Amino acid sequence: MMLDNLLEILPQRQEKLRVLIVDDQPINIRALHEVFRGEYHLIMATNGQQAIEQARKQLPDLILLDVVMPDMNGYDVCQQLKSDAQTASIPVIFVTTQSNPDEEALGFEAGAVDFIIKPVNPVIVRARVRTHLALKLQYDFVRSIALQDGLTGIPNRRRFDDDFASYWGQARREQWPLSLLLIDVDHFKLYNDHYGHVAGDVCLRSVAQALVKTARRSTDLVYRYGGEEFACLLPHTDLQGAEQCAASMLEAVAALNIEHCKSATAPVVSISIGIVSVIPDQDHKQENMVELADKALYDAKHAGRNGYRSSV
């Protein structure tokens, strides 16, 4: 499918696609800028480390990467990008003066999707970039479906695992707080047994949407964690901010006013929440954060449910 057709059926991508151009020679950057000016949102980097930082910060849809650069060559840059969950799916096209098979093999082993030989031919470079952007959009679209929960329409457990790994890596590198909330619908089995599974599905969808509406930033995501459990990741959020979010979630679910006559906690559907917030370092492990949030959730249930507890 052509790139223009994909942009038409993917309304969330109506903004310009982002292309990162990496070259230590300004004249080469200018040449590529002239080829794509007005067509894409262009980002520039003049060395390997800057390229990695820009890729993590800007999350471009495609990278045009020079091979021969001082300090860090293109192969090393590509390998680092592919080893990072946050940037691994970004297609990399090497732009190089090298045209022998051994160099190409090395590039493909590093994770590149294509090669373009300098000096660039505008028609060829434009066609190859459009082809790989189209493939990237198709990949993103299929992946978004695979990472969505079929019942509630929100991100699923697999998406949670991917995002958690990405946020954890960012938080550890940049030393900012990351908070995790585990959320459980109180006495949901009793709700299902009394009202039926159809009503149970409707209840879960309503709770999911109520939780999503409490997420104030695009980076604050709510996930269907499994069964009647949900999770929420809050990057750049300390414990106080996470507790404020939890309080909003409790209010939002209570405001649904979904009758639950079998609940020993409240006459309406309620939730319990476990919270943990850390600034990751060498003493913290990602899996321990989930364990701490799960323990805090247990404490919230043990304390009477319809509330939250924080891990300390």
Residue 228 annotated in active site: yes
189 and 84 inside one domain:
no
pLDDT for position 295: 97
Q: Note whether 29 and 117 are same-domain residues.
A: yes
**Rounded Cα–Cα distance for residues 187 and 200 (Å):** 11
Pair 213, 252: CB distance under 8 Å: yes
Same domain assignment for residues 207 and 180:
yes
190-223 pLDDT, tens digit per residue, is 999 999 999 999 999 999 999 999 988 888 999 9
* Kind plus residue range of the DSSP H or E element containing 96: strand 92-96
Asked if residue 151 is part of any domain, the answer here is no
pLDDT at 67 (0 to 100): 93
- Give the range of the structural domain holding residue 50, as residue numbers without chain letter: 3-146
Q: How far apart are CA 244 and CA 219, in angstroms?
A: 16
Q: What is the spatial distance between Cα 30 and Cα 34, in angstroms, rounded to a whole number? A: 6
How many domains would you assign to the chain? 2
* pLDDT at residue 244, as a whole number: 96
Q: 154 with 148: CB under 8 angstroms?
A: yes
Residue 165 and residue 141 share a domain: no
Among 8, 39, 228, 291, the active-site one is 228
What CATH number has the domain bearing residue 212? Answer: 3.30.70.270
Question: Do residues 135 and 184 both lie within one domain?
Answer: no
Q: Is residue 257 part of a domain?
A: yes
Per-residue pLDDT, 110: 92
Lowest mean pLDDT among 82-86, 199-203, 246-250, 265-269: 82-86
Instruction: Check whether residue 284 and residue 192 sit in a common domain.
Output: yes
Q: Are 148 and 208 in contact (CB under 8 A)?
A: no
Where residue 46 sits, what CATH number does that domain have?
3.40.50.2300
- Model confidence over 135-173: pLDDT tens digits? 999 988 888 889 999 999 999 999 999 999 989 988 998
Q: Taking the model in full, what pTM does it have?
A: 0.76
The residues, any chain, with a CB within 8 Å of residue 24's CB and separated by 6 or more, are 46, 47, 66, 69, 70
**Do 25 and 141 belong together in one domain?**
yes
- Are 142 and 32 within one domain? yes
pLDDT at 52: 96
pLDDT category of residue 2 using cuts at 50, 70 and 90: low
